[in-house]
Amino acid sequence: MEYRVLSGYFLSNDETIGFMWDQAMKAIDAYNECEPIPNPEEVQDVINNSDVETATMLTKEFYLI
């Protein structure tokens, strides 16, 4: 598991703070339960290249939102 530091943007209001908390907890639960996870290389590519289309597909496929 890799953790990447986020910008402080999510601290701008209670809604985004809650959203980020919920998503982090989902990721930790999935990891602890050995649930299927996205291909790490694909996720890294999404992050490094700001690939919104693939990010949207992955969030839907893995019920992240």
How many angstroms separate the CA atoms of 2 and 53, rounded? 22
pLDDT tens-place values along the chain, 65 residues long? 667 777 888 888 999 899 889 988 988 888 898 888 788 899 899 989 999 999 999 988 887 76
Residues 62 and 37 sit within 8 Å (Cβ to Cβ): yes
pTM of the model: 0.60
Q: Cα separations (Å) of 12 from 20, 32, 42, 52, 61?
A: 12, 29, 29, 22, 28
Q: Which residue, 65, 56, 58, is CA-closest to 22? A: 65
Residue 65 has a pLDDT of 67
**Helix, coil or strand: residue 12:** helix
Where along the chain do its domains lie?
12-61
pLDDT of residue 24: 86
pLDDT of 1 reads 64
